[in-house]
């Protein structure tokens, strides 16, 4: 990109840089910090589909049991019984929560499935 292709700052004529942070996006001048900003909502936050997360793991593995307890919101003994049954429904929610849950389950070695098809990571 050549200097002539850049958008110039209306305050000082400096180069404007594109940025995205959290819930905002915009242009910011590298020279004088002038900026123009707008709201940016990530697509995953707009997904209103309700997803079902199932998992299977080792009922003798304390780490598996603790993560299932955290995700499902139940105590240690109930989580162990669920893991003894094989594959079970551990969580129902929307995309952003499901991504967090899936990452927690997978990070400790649990095998999980999500339906309907989950395209967020």
Task: Tell me the sheet residues that pair with 91.
Answer: 53
Write down the pTM of the prediction: 0.72
State whether 35 and 59 are in the same domain.
no
Q: Which of 18, 52, 59 is nearest to 35 (CA)?
A: 18
57, 51 in Cβ contact below 8 A? no
What lies within 8 Å, CB to CB, of 114 at 6+ separation is 51, 52, 53, 54, 98, 102
Tell me how many domains the chain contains: 2
pLDDT values of the chain reduced to their tens digit, one per residue, 121 residues: 344 456 788 889 888 998 888 888 999 998 898 889 998 888 898 899 999 999 999 999 999 999 999 999 999 999 999 999 999 999 999 999 999 999 999 999 999 999 999 988 7
State whether 62 and 110 are in the same domain.
yes
State whether 95 and 66 are in the same domain.
yes
């Amino acid at each position: 990109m050549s200097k002539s292709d850049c958008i110039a700052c209306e305050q000082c004529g400096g180069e404007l840089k594109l940025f995205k942070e959290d819930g905002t996006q915009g242009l910011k001048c590298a020279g004088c910090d002038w900026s123009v900003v707008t709201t940016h909502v990530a697509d995953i936050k707009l997904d209103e589909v309700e997803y079902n997360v199932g998992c299977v793991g080792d009922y003798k593995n304390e780490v598996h049991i603790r993560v299932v307890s955290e995700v499902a919101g139940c105590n240690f003994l109930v989580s162990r019984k669920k893991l003894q049954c094989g594959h079970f429904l551990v969580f129902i929610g929307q995309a952003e929560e499901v991504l967090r849950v899936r990452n927690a389950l997978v990070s400790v070695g649990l095998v999980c499935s999500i339906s309907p098809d989950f395209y967020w990571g």
